[in-house]
């Protein structure tokens, strides 16, 4: 979800590193960027200097192009020293895509949360040539546009394994309350939720650095969606709980190193913006459903802009999430329409 221009934030670097190059954002901490073939066209990754080796944070998609960039990074900015640990903040493909490659090709240790590892490994093994009946029913229940539905019904769906390297058996778990040493610092592990279950963030005890993954981003709110795998999930509640829990950790001087966009300072302001953004979206949506609406009818009040074909799927799952939160918190009712779609109407 796009935010209004976030006031009160400062961006120490106006331009990101080009592929194959790195910017030292703090002693022993390198910021690098990998391309993605989508509207959000990049993912930020980081390398932390452990002396004779490196720990990297997130990996990008699994592709020949990304592997070529990583080889270049390892030869030049990483100076030929080995990557011995890969930390994955959450299970989405742009973050976990090459974790298995680092394990199998370079013997790196994979460190992540249990949920992130289980999701990643399960999804790499789940290959579908056509959408399964449960997915089709889920799309119908969201009121998916008929033309979009017909096209997607006949297409090979996105498969996690297409852009995530096979993952060897075994990983090292991190969880809420753990500490980890990397880059010459001790970091506290704090777990977020909403965008991805059990999303790891890292808060330095020794200076002002925060490695936030996609849990905290400067100019967009991470996508928060409901999927056919868990149609009654309430990730909006999970998101708001995590933001309220992480907000007291925020200080104005902290340099936040996120998974997308630019590093920034002004974290207390940003935490309040992230919380307010979704409360505002919920209020707009609540006002909009004065008559029964399906999820596919609700893009305008949520996103306040036209949704293109490439964004349709993410917009749909986010609309479902917000409507379902209103329903599950008692602020809306829902009923089945003749075509099988759930339609929601506000209470009060």
pLDDT tens-digit map of 114-158: 999 999 999 999 999 999 999 999 999 999 999 999 999 999 999
pLDDT of residue 8: 85
Residue 8 located in a structural domain: no
Distance CA(346)–CA(289), nearest Å, equals 6
Read off the pLDDT of each residue in 282-310 and give the average, rounded to a whole number: 94
Domain carrying residue 31:
23-130+159-290
Residue 179 located in a structural domain: yes
Distance CA(200)–CA(216), nearest Å, equals 11
Percent of the chain whose predicted confidence (pLDDT) is above 70: 98
Listed residue (172, 167, 190) closest to 104, CA to CA: 167
Distance CA(193)–CA(171), nearest Å, equals 21
H runs (alpha helix) in 111-159: 114-124, 133-141, 146-154
pLDDT in tens, 3-59: 544 568 999 999 999 989 999 999 999 999 999 998 889 999 999 999 999 999 999
Listed residue (42, 62, 117, 109) closest to 82, CA to CA: 109
Of 324 and 2, the one with more pLDDT: 324
- For residue 326, give the 3-state DSSP assignment: helix
CATH number at residue 165: 3.60.15.10
Residues in the chain: 348
Distance CA(174)–CA(177), nearest Å, equals 9
pLDDT of residue 297: 97
Tokens of 246: 């992480």
Percent of the chain whose predicted confidence (pLDDT) is above 90: 93
pLDDT of residue 5: 45
Q: Strand 109-112 to strand 83-87: parallel, antiparallel, or no bridges (unpaired)?
A: parallel
In this structure, what are the phi and psi dihedrals at residue 183, rounded to the nearest 5 degrees? 60, 30
pLDDT of residue 7: 65
Q: Nearest 5°: CA angle at 40, between 162 and 175?
A: 70
Residue 333 located in a structural domain: no
pLDDT of residue 96: 98
pTM of the model: 0.96
The structural domain count of the chain equals: 1
Q: Is 290 exposed, middle or buried (0-12, 13-18, 19+ CB in 10 A)?
A: exposed
pLDDT in tens, 209-239: 999 999 999 999 999 999 999 999 999 999 9
In sequence order, what are the residues at sequence separation of 6 or more whose Cβ sits closer than 8 angstroms to the Cβ of residue 251? Answer: 208, 267, 268
pLDDT of residue 3: 57
User: Can you say whether residue 80 is alpha, beta or left, with left for phi > 0 and alpha for psi between -120 and 50 degrees?
Assistant: left
Distance CA(335)–CA(292), nearest Å, equals 9
pLDDT of residue 2: 55
Residue 17 located in a structural domain: no
pLDDT of residue 233: 97
**Beta strands, E only, 232-310:** 255-258
180, β-bridge pairs? 187
Residue 7 located in a structural domain: no
Residue 98 located in a structural domain: yes
Q: Would you give the DSSP letter of residue 220?
A: B
pLDDT of residue 304: 86
Read off the pLDDT of each residue in 319-331 and give the average, rounded to a whole number: 98
Tokens of 102: 């680092």
Checking if the pLDDT of 173 tops 80, the result is yes
Listed residue (199, 195, 258, 261) closest to 40, CA to CA: 261
Residue 102 located in a structural domain: yes
Residue 286 located in a structural domain: yes
């Amino acid at each position: 979800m796009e935010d209004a221009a976030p006031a009160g934030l400062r961006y120490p670097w106006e331009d990101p590193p080009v592929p194959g190059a790195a910017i030292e954002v703090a002693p022993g901490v390198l910021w690098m960027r990998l391309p993605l073939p989508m509207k959000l066209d990049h993912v930020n990754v980081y390398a932390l200097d452990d002396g004779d080796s490196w720990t990297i944070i997130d990996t990008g998609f699994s592709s020949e192009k990304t592997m070529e960039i990583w080889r270049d990074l390892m030869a030049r900015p990483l100076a030929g020293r080995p990557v011995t640990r890969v930390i994955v903040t959450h299970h989405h493909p742009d973050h976990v895509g090459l974790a298995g490659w680092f394990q199998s090709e370079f013997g790196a240790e994979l460190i992540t949360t249990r949920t992130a590892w289980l999701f990643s490994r399960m999804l790499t093994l789940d290959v579908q040539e056509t959408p399964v009946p449960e997915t089709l029913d889920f799309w119908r229940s969201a009121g998916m546009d008929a033309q979009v539905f017909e096209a997607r019904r006949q297409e090979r769906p996105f498969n996690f394994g297409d852009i995530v390297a096979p993952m060897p058996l075994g990983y090292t778990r991190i969880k809420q309350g753990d500490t980890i040493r990397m880059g010459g610092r001790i970091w506290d592990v704090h777990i977020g939720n909403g965008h991805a279950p059990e999303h790891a963030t890292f808060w330095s005890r020794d200076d002002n650095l925060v490695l936030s993954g996609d849990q905290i981003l400067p100019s967009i709110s991470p996508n928060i969606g409901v999927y056919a795998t868990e149609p009654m999930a309430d990730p909006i509640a999970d998101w708001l709980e995590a933001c309220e829990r992480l907000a007291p950790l925020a200080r104005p001087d902290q340099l936040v190193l996120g998974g997308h966009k630019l590093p920034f300072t002004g974290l207390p302001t940003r935490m309040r913006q992230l919380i307010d953004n979704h409360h505002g979206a919920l209020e707009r949506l609540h006002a909009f459903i004065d008559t029964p609406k399906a999820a596919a009818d609700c893009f305008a009040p949520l996103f306040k802009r036209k949704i293109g074909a490439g964004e349709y799927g993410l917009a749909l799952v986010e609309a479902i999430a917000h409507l379902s939160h209103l329903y599950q918190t008692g602020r809306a009712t829902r009923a089945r329409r003749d075509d099988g779609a759930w339609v929601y109407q506000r209470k009060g």
